[in-house]
Amino acid sequence: MSMKPISRRELVRKFRVLGFEGPISGGRHSFMQRGSLKVHIPGEHRRDIPVGLQREILRQAGINVGEWEEV
C-alpha cells in the first residue's frame, strides 16, 4: 500500500493512535507532542496533506512509513 494525501483530521487521528497528544496551539503552527518530542502539523486551512509533506512530518517524528500505514 502506498501513501496518499490525507486530511488534517486523519493525520491528527493517526498521531493520537501512535501516542501523541494534541493538536496544541503554538504560535504560527499547531503541534502534536509525545513526551519531549514536538512535531509541527499543517493548519486547518490547507486541503489534503500531500505525500511529500507527510513524509517530512514522519521523518521529524521518527515514524517509518510502514508503521504509519498500519495505523
Q: Model pTM greater than 0.85?
A: yes
Domains of the chain from N-terminus onward: 8-70 (3.30.920.30)
Q: What is the pLDDT of residues 7-57, one digit of tens each?
A: 999 999 999 999 999 999 977 889 999 999 999 999 887 789 999 999 999
CA angle 12, 15, 19 (to 5 degrees): 135
User: Omega of the bond prior to 23 within 30 degrees of 0, cis?
Assistant: yes
Residues shown for the chain: 71
Cell of 30: 499547531
